[in-house]
Structure 1
Amino acid sequence: MFAHKDFINFILQAKSDKKDIVCINVLDTEGSVYRKSGATMLVNSDGKFIGVVSGGCFEEDIVHCAKDILSKHEGKYVVHDLRMKDDSLDSWGKGVGCNGLIKLWMEPFYYNQNYGAIGIALEYALNGIRQTLIRSTQNQGIYRFSSEERKEEMFFDEEAQFFYQKINSPYRLLILGAGPGSEPLLSIANTLGWQTAICDTRTSNLTHVHSADETHLLNDCNEVHEVLERDFDAAVVMSHNFNSDAVYLQALLNSEVSYIGMMGPQKRTKSIISSFSQFSETLFMDPRLHNPIGLDLGGESPESIALSICAEIEADRNRAIPMSLREKKKVAIHAN
């Protein structure tokens, strides 16, 4: 929950507008479905929503149901069974996009109560505090938080009627250098719901940046150390200036940033590392360092390059090996 920054903004806007909210969670699924356990959707008292829990099969019904839930002040356990009797064309022709079963929990949260458990979870997310929210699907309003680390993003104990949901903060991306390719990179990162920041020493470059959550004008490249105190998950160096890149890369290699992307060929990056360290080969082999940056998608436009960079970062943060789904032997989303 809250791994996508738009969910945070949705609640903050609802709070500003004094609107109530219904939180919809996918507890469990069977068969082929668009969203799996852990997917979240929020609906406010105006019927506006964010997130999806299906491929569009019943979002409209959920919005209608949310209004009823808010008026009755009670949660609701909902099961949508989209499984077909057979795999004939006639069955698919009924407009069903999936062939599975989805179990949902819909719970109301009110502005005058500061949104209860969801309001507390939001504060944890804003402050980067890792917690697990444990809610009852049997007794509405019964909840607690735990610092216990769980492997699953969401786990539903059907017997005890409790579900456990991780409270995550948005993934944080830092771009070092506001060059021509920075805006497409910011655009895709924002679409993915990442928190974005960009730094540069050149005022003229930053004036062309419009979509970053944070912009930092540095008086000197060494001020990047102060920026890195904000705990970023990934960073991309793209100032296209040898001396600036050297300062940025050295700072990143000495930081705890888990993904470090470096624009340019390997020969240039090795020269940059050699300029500040006698252990250039060792530092170049740092598993966090990705150079050349991005996946090979075949495109050469700034937008294609930005897509390849974000795709590699997304794979890295999910600890996944990029491949075509049709080449993957077992893909849960297509399971029958």
Structure 2
Amino acid sequence: MFAHKDFIHFIQQAKSERKDIVCINVLDTEGSVYRKSGATMLVNSDGKFIGVVSGGCFEEDIVHCAKDILSKHEGKYVVHDLRMKDDTLDSWGKGVGCNGLIKLWMEPFYYQDNYGAIGIALDFALSGIKKTLIRSTEIHGFYGFSSEEKQEDIVFDEESNPQLIYQKIHSPYRLLILGAGPGSEPLLSIANTLGWQTAICDTRASNLAHVHSADETHLLDNCEDVAEVLERHFDAAVVMSHNFSSDAVYLSALLDSEVSYIGMMGPQKRTKSIISSFSQFSETVFMDPRLHNPIGLDLGGESPESIALSICAEIEANRNRATPMSLREKKKVAIHAN
């Protein structure tokens, strides 16, 4: 929950407008479905929503149901069974978008209660505190928090008494861009679409003046001040100042940080020279698994937008611990089970 910053903004906006919210979670699925367990959707009392729990098959029904749930002050367990009797063209022709079953939990949260469990969960997410939210589908108003992390985003224990939902509380992924140049704005745009928290820093005020889509901008007196920015704890960083001396300072600081993905623009020969300027163990440093150079996946494009896409694709694969590949080449495709 809250891995996408727009969900945080949605609740903050609802709070400013004194709106109530229904939280919809995909608890479990069977067969071929668009979204798997862990998917979340929020609907406010005006019927505005964020997130999807299907490919558009029943979002409209969910919005209508959310109003009823808010009025009754109780959660609802919903099962949408879109499985077909057979795989004939006639069955597909009935307009069904997928061939699966989805189990949902819909629960109301109210402005006057500061949104109860998800209000507290939001505070944890904003503070970067990792917790697991525990709720019940059987006991009204029951919730708690645990420091124990489950492997999945959501675990629905149907065998427990009462039935419990364990949901990870994620904070948005945090990306830092070092160097505000022509390629930074496309990179920020895609990162924002992915729901990442974005920040950019530079020593040149004129360059930062052209940045419009970063959540944070940091004007540095000198490159060494990047160490203070890194105290804000980032998950990934991209070095793209296109200045040898600046890149050396930035890369040195990143290698001493806890950033888990470090991307360097430019060829390997240049990066090795940069490392040699501050370390006598350049070959060893270059082998740091966090360092990605040249940065990005080979998607074949050469425009700033294509490069930005390739960078974000590599970062996304890295954060999901996935090996990039075409889904048609994958023997067992997780998002389309059948």
Q: CA offsets, 1:279-331, max 9 Å, x none?
A: 10000000000000000000000000000000000000000000000000111
Q: Which residue of 2 aligns with 1:255?
A: 257
* TM-score in terms of structure 1 length: 0.99
Residue of 264, 281, 287 corresponding to 2:266: 264
**Pairing 1:174–2:179 present:** no
Alignment of 1:298-309 (within 5 A): 298-309=300-311
Identify the residue that residue 152 of structure 2 maps to in structure 1: 152
**Residue of structure 2 equivalent to 1:223:** 225
- 1:156-215 deviation digits (Å, cap 9, x = unpaired): 001221110000000000000001000000000000000000000001100110000000
CA contact (8 A) 1:32 1:332 kept: no
TM-score, normalised by the number of residues in structure 2:
0.99
Q: Distance in 1 between matches of 2:221 and 2:321?
A: 36
Contact 1:3/1:170, CA 8 A, preserved across alignment: yes
Read off the aligned partner of 2:53 and give its amino acid letter. V
Instruction: Name the residue aligned to 1:22.
Output: 22
**Structure 2 equivalent of residue 5 of structure 1:** 5
Q: CA deviation at 1:333?
A: 1.9
SS at match of 1:164: strand
Note if 1:56 corresponds to 2:47. Answer: no
Structure 1: where are the runs of 5+ without partners? none
> Hey, what's the Cα distance between the residues in 1 that align with 2:336 and 2:116?
37
Give the superposition deviation at 1:335: 1.7
Mapped to 2, the partners of 1:335 and 1:195 lie a distance apart of 32
Tell me, in whole angstroms, the C-alpha distance in 1 between the residues paired with 2:211 and 2:84.
49
Q: Which of 163, 166, 185 matches 1:164?
A: 166
- Please give the alpha-carbon distance, in whole angstroms, between the structure 2 residues aligned to 1:283 and 1:333: 37
- CA offset at residue 151 of structure 1? 1.2
Look up the match of 1:204.
206
Aligned counterparts of 2:113 and 2:227: Cα–Cα separation in 1: 40
Report the 3-state secondary structure (helix = DSSP H, G, I; strand = E; otherwise coil) of the residue aligned with 1:332. Answer: coil
Moved over 4 A (4+): none
Q: Where do 1:96-245 residues align within 5 Å? A: 96-160=96-160, 161-245=163-247
User: What is the one-letter code of the residue matched to 2:57?
Assistant: C
Q: Distance in 2 between matches of 1:118 and 1:93?
A: 40
| Whole-angstrom distance in 1 between the partners of 2:268 and 2:113 | 55
Query: How many Å apart are 1:149 and its aligned residue?
Result: 2.0
Greater alpha carbon shift after TM alignment, 139-148 vs 291-300? 139-148
SS state at 2:43 partner: strand
Partner SS for 1:333:
coil
Query: What is the CA–CA distance in structure 1 between the aligned matches of 2:215 and 2:268, rounded to whole Å?
Result: 30
Matched residue type, 1:156: F
Deviation track 1:91-144 (CA, whole Å, cap 9, x = no partner) reads: 111111110000000000000000000000000000000000000001121010
Question: Distance in 1 between the 2:166 and 2:336 partners?
Answer: 25
Code of the aligned partner of 1:180: P
Deviation (angstroms), 1:225: 0.1
CA apart distance, 1:332: 2.3
Please report how far the alpha carbon of residue 146 of structure 1 lies from its aligned counterpart in structure 2 after TM superposition: 0.1
1:334 aligned counterpart, secondary structure: coil
Aligned mates of 2:94, 2:273 — CA distance in 1: 61
Q: Is the 8 A contact 1:134 1:165 kept in 2?
A: yes
* One-letter amino acid of the counterpart of residue 168, structure 1: H
Give the structure 2 partner of residue 83 of structure 1: 83
Aligned partner of residue 332 in structure 2, secondary structure: coil
Matched letter for residue 27 of structure 1: L
Aligned residue pairs, count: 336
Aligned to 2:38: 38
1: distance between equivalents of 2:295 and 2:328? 25
C-alpha deviation, 1:153, in angstroms: 1.2
Distance 2:234 2:74 in 1: 39
Cα distance in structure 1, aligned partners of 2:334 and 2:261: 27
Equivalent position amino acid for 1:20 in 2: D
**Alignment map for 1:270-285 (pairs within 5 Å):** 270-285=272-287
Instruction: Judge conservation of contact 1:107–1:140 (CA < 8 Å) in 2.
Output: no
Contact 1:174/1:236 (<8 A) preserved:
yes
Provide the C-alpha distance between the structure 2 equivalents of 1:141 and 1:98, rounded to a whole number of angstroms: 34
The letter of the residue matching 1:82 is L
Query: Residue 79 of structure 1 contacts residue 103 of structure 1 at CA under 8 Å; is this kept in 2?
Result: yes
> Structure 2: how far apart are the matches of 1:104 and 1:59?
12
Higher mean displacement: 83-92 or 176-185: 83-92
Structure 1 distance, partners of 2:88, 2:219, is: 61
SS in 2 for 1:235: strand
